Amino acid sequence: MAGSLNWGVKQSFRGYVESAGGVIETMGGAERAADGGFTFAAAPGGDLRLDADGRPVGRGLFVGNVRFEAHGGMLSVYLADPNIEIGPSGAVITVADSSARTHRMEIATLDLGAITTGLAGELVIPTALSMDGSRLLGDHYPPKTALDPVRLTLR
Ligand code: HEM
């Protein structure tokens, strides 16, 4: 099962929000990591695992939310409870996009062909922005823009 998910969304977006005098707030199972990214706690019920070839498959469920706010609230981006969903038709990160959690969207795709292993043995998976993710970040980055890699610990 999934131990934890570390994902910083996009380093330049975090830098931009903070240098614009905004805030980045984590709650409910999400924490700010030492590298400035976010760590999300695993939730029960997922089945993310390595298959016989050592590749991740299934769904990893995580909890926690991150709020980015700047420009007096004109910039307001919220994402919560990321899932890693790896199936036959692709590998994506989905999130709830409001605190009501009534709607989930695909924010990013995972490039399973480019997985590496991190220093602590975690899987490091490159990610890229999806169409809906582009909209969530205010249409400033086109779809397929590289985001921060996901760092996934399985246990
Ligand atoms: C009063 C409203 C806003 C002002 C004055 C403003 C100003 C700016 C400026 C000056 C930059 C260029 C920063 C740089 O190159 O370092 C920028 C970039 C950006 N803005 Fe805004 N912005 C506003 C609203 C928004 C909103 C509503 C969003 C929606 C999420 C947004 C998302 C972004 C993004 C994603 C970038 C690119 C950051 C990067 O990766 O370098 N901004 N904005």
Q: Are strands 116-117 and 104-110 parallel, antiparallel or unpaired?
A: unpaired
Query: pLDDT class for 88, splitting at 50, 70, 90?
Result: confident
Give per-residue pLDDT as tens, 39-60: 999 999 999 999 998 889 999 9
Task: State in Å: Cα 140 to ligand 1 middle.
Answer: 8
Residue 119 Cβ inside 6 Å of ligand 1? The answer reads no
Query: pLDDT class for 98, splitting at 50, 70, 90?
Result: very high
Domain boundaries, the chain: 2-154
Atom 11, ligand 1: residue with shortest CA distance: 16
Pocket test for ligand 1, best of 74, 107, 129 (most atoms within 8 A of CB): 74
Give per-residue pLDDT as tens, 124-151: 999 999 999 999 999 999 999 999 999 9
- Asked if 141 and 124 count as a contact pair (C-beta separation under 8 A), the reply is no
Locus of tokens 């602590």: 120
Quick one: three-class SS letters along the chain? CEEEEECCCCHHHHHHHHHCCCEEEEECCEEECCCCCEEEEECCCCCCEECCCCCEEEEEEEECEEEEEEHHHCEEEEEEEEEEEEECCEEEEEEECCCCCCCEEEEEEECHHHCEECCCCCEEEEEEECHHHHHHCCCCCCCCCEEEEEEEEEC
Task: State in Å: Cα 85 to ligand 1 middle.
Answer: 30
Pocket test for ligand 1, best of 71, 97, 147 (most atoms within 8 A of CB): 71
- Would the pTM count as exceeding 0.75? yes
Residue 147 Cβ inside 6 Å of ligand 1? The answer reads no
Query: pLDDT class for 75, splitting at 50, 70, 90?
Result: very high
Atom 25, ligand 1: residue with shortest CA distance: 75
Query: pLDDT class for 2, splitting at 50, 70, 90?
Result: low
Task: State in Å: Cα 14 to ligand 1 middle.
Answer: 11
Which pLDDT score is estimated for 89?
A: 84
- Please check the confidence at residue 155 and state whether its pLDDT lies above 90: no
